[in-house]
Amino acid sequence: MIIINANPIAFSIGPIAVHWYGLMYVMGITVGLLVAWPYAISKGFTQSQLEKVVIWAVPAGLVGARLYYVIQQPLGPYFAEPWRILAAWEGGMAFYGAIFAVVIVLLVAGWRLQISILKLLDFGAIFAVVGQFFGRIGNFINGDIIGYPTSLPWGVVYTNPNSFAPLHDIAYQPAAVYEALIDVLLFGLLWWLRNKLKPGMLFFVYIIGYSLSQIIVFIWRDNEIVFLGFKQAQLTAMAVIVGAVIVFLVVSRWKSKATTGT
Q: Give residue 36's pLDDT.
A: 97
Q: Going by C-beta distance under 8 Å and a sequence separation of 6 or more, which residues neighbour residue 82?
A: none
Highest mean pLDDT among 62-71, 176-185, 245-254: 176-185
Count of alpha carbons within 13 angstroms of residue 209, beta-carbon side? 20
Question: Quick one: residue 200, left, alpha or beta (phi over 0 = left, psi -120 to 50 = alpha)?
Answer: left
pLDDT tens digits for 165-224?
A: 999 999 999 999 999 999 999 999 999 999 999 999 999 999 999 999 999 999 998 888
Q: With a threshold of 0.85, does the pTM exceed it?
A: yes
Q: pLDDT at position 240, please?
A: 94
Residue 256 has what pLDDT? Answer: 64
Asked if pLDDT for residue 163 goes beyond 80, the answer is: yes
Choose the weakest-confidence range: 49-53, 55-59, 250-254: 250-254
Quickly state the pLDDT bin for 17 (edges 50, 70, 90). confident
Residue 17's beta-bridge partner residues? 12
Say which range, 32-36, 82-86, 103-107, 243-247, has the weakest mean pLDDT.
82-86
CA distance 70 to 31: 27
Q: What is residue 104's predicted lDDT score, i.e. its pLDDT?
A: 95
Angle between helices 47-70 and 95-113 (to 10 degrees): 150
CA 175 from chain centre, in angstroms, equals 14
| Burial class of residue 258 in the structure, from the number of CB atoms within 10 Å of its CB (0-12 exposed, 13-18 middle, 19+ buried) | exposed
pLDDT band of 72, cuts 50, 70, 90: confident
Per-residue confidence (pLDDT) for residue 107, from 0 to 100: 95
Output the average pLDDT for the chain: 90
Q: Calculate mean pLDDT across residues 27-32.
A: 96
Q: Highest mean pLDDT: which of 79-88, 109-118, 228-237? A: 109-118
pLDDT at residue 33 above 90?
Answer: yes
pLDDT of residue 34: 97
Is the pLDDT at 252 greater than 80? The verdict is no
- In DSSP terms, 156 is beta-bridged to 2, 172
pLDDT value, residue 214: 94
Q: How sure is the predictor about 70, in pLDDT bands with cuts at 50, 70 and 90?
A: confident
What confidence tens digit (pLDDT) does each residue in 94-146 have? 888 999 999 999 999 999 999 999 999 999 999 999 999 999 999 999 998 89
